Amino acid sequence: SAVISQKPSRDICQRGTSLTIQCQVDSQVTMMFWYRQQPGQSLTLIATANQGSEATYESGFVIDKFPISRPNLTFSTLTVSNMSPEDSSIYLCSVVPDRVNTEAFFGQGTRLTVV
């Protein structure tokens, strides 16, 4: 299992600014993922952030908008850059510690509102 501390839990930001979200895991894990959940919607994968390699972005998401850092096996950040109201969502980090069971563990999410 894994326990993830994600912060901030929520924020209200002005358009045009950037917000960095942090995820700290209580154990070393290779595979970490960032998801976006738009209001009333399901989760969409933004990128895979494995330590030791560049993040891999899904279609529709680009590094300039969502830069990711993964400096070690227990920590990652996602930055939402040059924000607009359309970026208002819940952002969640997730890890998969066991490649056999592939159960995912999630942080509590960051509820972002852009005004």
Partner 1 sequence: SQQGEEDPQALSIQEGENATMNCSYKTSINNLQWYRQNSGRGLVHLILIRSNEREKHSGRLRVTLDTSKKSSSLLITASRAADTASYFCATDDSGGGADGLTFGKGTHLIIQP
Give dist(CA 37, CA 108) in Å, integer. 12
Residue 14 interacts with partner 1 (CB under 8 A): yes or no: no
Residue 99 interacts with partner 1 (CB under 8 A): yes or no: yes
Residue 106 interacts with partner 1 (CB under 8 A): yes or no: yes
The residue within the footprint of partner 1, chosen from 19, 87, 109, 114 (CB under 8 A), is 109
Give dist(CA 84, CA 87) in Å, integer. 6
Q: Least distance (Å) from partner 1 to the CB of residue 90?
A: 6
Contact 77, 21 (CB under 8 A): yes
**Where do contacts with partner 1 occur on this chain (CB under 8 A)?**
4, 6, 31, 33, 35, 37, 41-45, 48, 59, 90, 92, 94, 96, 99-109, 111
